[in-house]
Amino acid sequence: MRFSRATILFTLVSVADFASPRAHAEESMFPSAPVAKPFMDFDGKGFIVNGQRTYVSSASIHYPRVPKDL
């Protein structure tokens, strides 16, 4: 299962906001490591989301560079 970067960030912000009801707006946007660590971590090899290693891949396409026949 692959997750987009936006999905992971939205989940992280949502979980941090739920876990910390006293958080200010800045704290829910950028939670401290102790709040986020049980749900999301990064160990240099990739992300760990809810205890499972998750590889995030991303790509883009430049439509003007695609030949019109394709």
Is the Cβ–Cβ distance between 16 and 35 less than 8 Å? yes
The pTM of this model reads 0.38
CA 51 to chain centre: 14
H or E element at residue 15: helix 5-19
pLDDT at 4: 75
Q: Give pLDDT tens digits along the chain (70 positions).
A: 567 777 776 676 665 555 555 545 555 666 667 888 888 888 878 888 888 988 888 889 898 998 988 8
DSSP state of 4: -
Residue 1 C-alpha from the chain's centroid: 14
* CB contact at 8 A, 11 and 64: no
